Structure formats: C-alpha cells, structure tokens
Chains A and B, each alone.
Chain A
Amino acid sequence: SQQGEEDPQALSIQEGENATMNCSYKTSINNLQWYRQNSGRGLVHLILIRSNEREKHSGRLRVTLDTSKKSSSLLITASRAADTASYFCATDHFTGNQFYFGTGTSLTVIP
C-alpha cells in the first residue's frame, strides 16, 4: 500500500506551544500535501510542497520535506485552542490525480 504513516498518532500541548507532526512515505513523490480535519467535518487543504522544495511557510505553518528520508514535517507555531483537529499528509506519486493519505495525527491544544 502507498499509504503513508504519521507520528505521533496523538499530541496534546498547551496553548502557545509549538506542535510538530511527521509524515513518512514509501516511494518517490511529485508533491506532498497537508490537510486539517475538524471533528465530523471534511478535510481542508493547508499547504502543498513540491518534491524539489525543502521548506514552505504559510502563516503559523511551516512544512519541511526531506526526499532522501522520504519524510515531511508540519510545524504549527504558537498554537491556539482552535488548532485542535486531526492533521493528515497526502502524497502524489506522479499519478497526477490519485493521492494517498496518511493515518493522521490528532492534535489537542489545551487553553
């Protein structure tokens, strides 16, 4: 299966702290995407990083990609209670239209 793996499965932090979650995949990718899912809702796209990029920022989000290790990390700085959600990575393995999702990290930010 192409499905990636994320760790940790669950993460609990205090408001204001940084949260880091990791995604590993098995075969070469064209790009990797991070999504957020609030409980009982659909996924919302956060950020896309291409295979030739190493780091990307969007507001309080910082994504890194290490293709030699086949891994990516998502850092959320200065977390807020509203950041409480599940976070998923998804990889495009050059198919163009099919993506493989990781198992997700459940983040809880305690006010």
Chain B
Amino acid sequence: DGGITQSPKYLFRKEGQNVTLSCEQNLNHDAMYWYRQDPGQGLRLIYYSQIVNDFQKGDIAEGYSVSREKKESFPLTVTSAQKNPTAFYLCASKVYGNSNQPQHFGDGTRLSIL
C-alpha cells in the first residue's frame, strides 16, 4: 500500500544537539511538507518542497533545515538553534500543481527535550 512513513515515532534531543526526522513516501508525489503541531495551535508550516533539489521556507523555518535529494525523501533537521523544539512533527505530501487534491500525512514524530 502507498503511504508516508515517518521515523522515529519518538525522539529525544539533548542540549546543543541536532536531530534528524525521517519522512519517506511511495505515493509518487512531487510536493512534500513539514508541519509542527503544538497544543491548541493547529499545524504550522516549517518547510515545503515542490520538486527535487528545491524547497521553500514556511512560516516557522528558523532553527530547522531540510534537504530534498530524492523524490521519495524529505528529511527535517531540528538544529540546536531551535530553542523550543518540543512538539509533534508531521510530514505530508500531495500531487504537485493540482490544488484540488488533498495532502496525505504520516503518523508523526514526537520530539522531546532531555
């Protein structure tokens, strides 16, 4: 079955450490997204990518970095510059260029500070 896989499900970060969240999709979607979810604030866009080797900042990109070397993969790195990284991180993908298509989501990674 096609879908989006996020790993790990739970992740712990130490002070000053960078951590990378994995997102892989086999839906053949061009566009991929990373969102951060905090309680009571809904989803906020961190980064998105419409095509391989290209990505755009979302509303809250500071302290995060991404790469898009393969169509299937869009990893997110939470850097030590992100001072409040504790949140639920969601990856999504969709067909590029057709706005009347929904996003498909993975099951998230919950990041906590040690």
Contact = CB atoms under 8 A, between A and B. Distances in A.
Interface stretch (A12-20, A56-64, A72-80, A94-102): A94-102
B16 interface: no
A48 B102 contact: yes
A33 B97 CA distance: 17
A97 B48 contact: yes
B103 to A, nearest CB: 7
A31 interface: yes
B42 A102 contact: yes
A97 B90 contact: no
Contacts of A111: none
B97 A96 contact: yes
A42 B102 contact: no
B99 A45 contact: no
Contacts of A28: none
Contact of B43 (A9, A40, A41, A101): A101
Given A42-B90, A88-B43, A92-B99, A97 B59 contact: no
Interface of B: 4, 6, 31, 35, 40-45, 48, 50, 58-59, 88, 90, 92, 94, 96-108, 110
Interface of A: 1, 3, 9, 30-31, 33, 35, 40-45, 48, 50, 88, 90, 92, 94-104
* 3 nearest A-B pairs in the assembled complex, by CB-CB distance: A42-B105, A45-B102, A101-B43
